[in-house]
A and B are shown apart, each in its own frame.
Chain A
């Protein structure tokens, strides 16, 4: 698993760590029961504060991605993939609505957006 921290980014460092571990879990790179690196080990390797790494781990647990076991470390929790897919879909719908609204005032239509998406998919 790679974790890249951008110090100048708008996103707080603990969120950057969280997002990248989440992505690794969602992509299946980290599987249920896998042990995450220790808080101190990760802080050391990423050159960030232990407080920040701990916060990232606490938030991951609060969101149900991991389970912290006292003295043993943090493990990847069983994921309900159906539910995750559903929440992602809802999030995508919401963002697309925002994008539609964003285009409207200058006359960018739904068809234009579809075109953009088609081009992006082809490039990928």
Chain B
């Protein structure tokens, strides 16, 4: 496996929050979804990767280079899109780009204009007059125009309408599948990841609680519904969470195969969405 990003035992303590032993590795040519509720530690992790904060402990290797000692070399190969673009509001796109482009030795003006046309961004418009979707597209175009190998996106689809979101998703798919680049995407909009993610990392309260290939996770888990009378006390081991009402029970199992053997027919097994999985894990009392 060709590893593009590796995080070992990353820890960071704040007064009211701590990131505990984060481990992660990203395979080249794949898209990894980084999912968790607000305040779970997604942005703290991303800022550590980008060397914007100093971790208390741990080692991060980006494209084979140490993240602290090779800051500049790494940054030129990263395409980063953060929550808000941090652009100068009064500049036009053209002027803003003229400021940013010289910072990259690998800037590709031809690619830049090609993406600008493709995403229909008007170069003479001022940044403050762009819609949220256009801002995000512009940030993405900048990230795409300097030959980056690894793309790190923090909530790229937040606040966008479904049409613009699916347009962005198509672009990301192109980056990964056609150009063999790697993407790490932090988000709480999990339906986007249902469509395109290869790997998933779930983070809750500063800890990675679940990770693996998306389809394997979805195969192992299931939403189970049925008559509460069928449930025996030792079935509880197979459930991440369980809700009972007067009409029946509904729960999430993390071992569908084992549960199916002990819990017979008359029970409904459904393929869970990433959101279902996150909901059950996040609500679980922390262990």
Contacts and interface: CB of A to CB of B under 8 A. Distances in A.
B213 A49 contact: yes
Interface in A17-76: 40-41, 43-44, 47-52
Nearest to B213: A51
Interface of B: 29-30, 173, 176-178, 180, 195-199, 213-215, 219, 269-271
Interface of A: 7-10, 12-14, 40-41, 43-44, 47-52
B214 A49 contact: yes
Nearest to A52: B215
Contact of A9 (B180, B197, B271): B271
8 contacts: A8-B270, A40-B180, A44-B177, A48-B215, A49-B196, A49-B213, A49-B215, A50-B30
B13 to A, nearest CB: 34
Contacts of B196: 47, 49
- Which 6 A-B pairs give the minimum distances between C-beta atoms? A49-B198, A52-B215, A44-B177, A51-B213, A12-B219, A40-B177
Contact of A43 (B177, B199, B213, B270): B177
B173 A44 contact: yes
A44 B195 CA distance: 11
Contact of A49 (B197, B269, B270): B197
A46 B195 CA distance: 10
Contacts of A14: 215
Contacts of A50: 29-30, 176-177, 198
Contacts of B213: 49, 51-52
Given A49-B197, A50-B29, A50-B30, A12 B173 contact: no
A13 B215 contact: yes
Nearest to A49: B198
B177 A10 contact: no
Nearest to A41: B177
Contacts of A44: 173, 177-178
B271 A8 contact: yes
A19 B269 CA distance: 22
Contact of B215 (A9, A12, A41): A12
Nearest to A48: B215
A51 B215 contact: yes
Contacts of B30: 49-51
B242 to A, nearest CB: 21
Contacts of B214: 49, 51
Contacts of A43: 177
B182 to A, nearest CB: 12
B195 A47 contact: yes
B232 to A, nearest CB: 23
A51 B214 CA distance: 9
A106 to B, nearest CB: 16
Contact of A51 (B198, B269, B270, B271): B198
A52 B212 CA distance: 12
A41 B176 CA distance: 11
Contacts of B219: 12
Contacts of A13: 215
A10 B269 contact: yes
